[in-house]
């Protein structure tokens, strides 16, 4: 996290080639400026969540700002619309758990290769996880997560990832894995899903997007591709 010397751009380039289902990776270093913070706040306020409550939304905005912060390498999760992406995902078959086998028996302690092992869909994991984390923060620090100072917020994310904080309603590490995985997806998905606004994630890693024809470049090995990304809807970045 903050002690990692690798540039954020290199980290995100690595994330871009990892399957979106891969959830357990490290948290990105923070280091946002005041200007970036104010810009992030304006971006988040422009969207009204349909699933998350106001306290839940505040948690999401605060947390993803740590996972992919705006810095000298480019915009972060807030500017990219990651909170909007996550909220919109909660209303999809994915959010309702329709993409997995959700009948018992459930064995949470088995290897991940054996599939998802909780009787909670992503909507429920977020609802229970945020409530549990806010309750823990209120009990331990006297404030909700979104009201804490940034260094403490980041330490709490570290502890969630490491399993140092325990919740009754949902495993803390599972909750964090959903949050981190969906943050990565929102930063790199096509903009039609609500995230990756202005294709900032694609621009950062040099991904050309959904262009329909690359034939002019097939016989030009190692040539630098000169054009910006294009979304599925035809928007140019």
Q: Contact at 8 Å (CB) between 91 and 122?
A: no
Taking 50 as the threshold, does the pLDDT of residue 20 lie above it? Answer: no
CA 65 to chain centre: 9
State the Cα torsion 66-112-88-230 to the nearest 10°. 80
- 81-95, 162-176, 199-213, range with the lowest pLDDT: 199-213
Mean pLDDT of 104-113: 84
The percentage of the chain sitting over the pLDDT mark of 70, rounded to a whole number, equals 81
- Residue 9's pLDDT is what? 52
pTM above 0.85, yes or no: no
Q: Taking the domains of the chain in order of start, what are their residue ranges? A: 8-20+48-101+114-202
The percentage of the chain sitting over the pLDDT mark of 90, rounded to a whole number, equals 59
- Residue 88's pLDDT is what? 98
Q: Contact at 8 Å (CB) between 144 and 58?
A: yes
Q: What is the pLDDT of residues 42-74, one digit of tens each?
A: 555 578 999 999 999 999 999 999 999 998 888
Nearest CA-CA partner of 8 in 152, 215, 194, 205: 205
State the Cα torsion 134-71-177-132 to the nearest 10°. 0
- Residue 10's pLDDT is what? 56
Report the DSSP beta bridge partners of residue 51.
none
Distance CA 110, CA 130 (A): 24
How does DSSP assign 93-137, residue by residue? TTTTTTTS---S---TTS-GGG----S--HHHHHHHHHHHHHHHH
Which residue pairs, CB below 8 angstroms and at least 24 apart, start in 213-220?
none
């Amino acid at each position: 996290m903050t002690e990692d010397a690798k540039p954020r751009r290199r980290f995100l380039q690595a994330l871009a080639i990892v399957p979106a289902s891969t959830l357990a990776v490290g948290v990105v270093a923070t280091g946002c400026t005041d200007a970036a913070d104010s810009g992030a706040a304006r971006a988040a306020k422009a969207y009204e969540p349909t699933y998350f409550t106001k306290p839940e939304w505040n948690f999401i905005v605060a947390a993803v700002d740590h996972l992919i912060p705006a810095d000298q390498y480019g915009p972060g999760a807030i500017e990219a619309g990651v909170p909007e992406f996550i909220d919109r995902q909660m209303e999809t078959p994915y959010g309702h758990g329709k993409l997995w086998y959700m009948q018992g028996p459930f064995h949470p302690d088995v290897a991940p290769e054996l599939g998802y092992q909780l009787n909670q869909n992503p909507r429920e994991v977020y609802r229970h996880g945020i409530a549990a984390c806010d309750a823990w923060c209120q009990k331990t620090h006297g404030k909700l997560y979104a009201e804490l100072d940034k260094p403490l917020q980041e330490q709490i994310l570290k502890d969630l990832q490491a399993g140092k904080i325990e919740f009754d309603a949902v495993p803390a590490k599972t909750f964090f894995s959903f949050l981190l995985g969906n943050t990565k997806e929102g930063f790199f998905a096509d903009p039609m899903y609500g995230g990756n606004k202005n294709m900032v994630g694609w621009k950062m890693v040099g991904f050309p997007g959904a262009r329909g024809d690359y034939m002019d470049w097939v016989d030009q090995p190692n040539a630098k591709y000169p054009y910006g990304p294009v979304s599925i809807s035809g928007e140019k970045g």
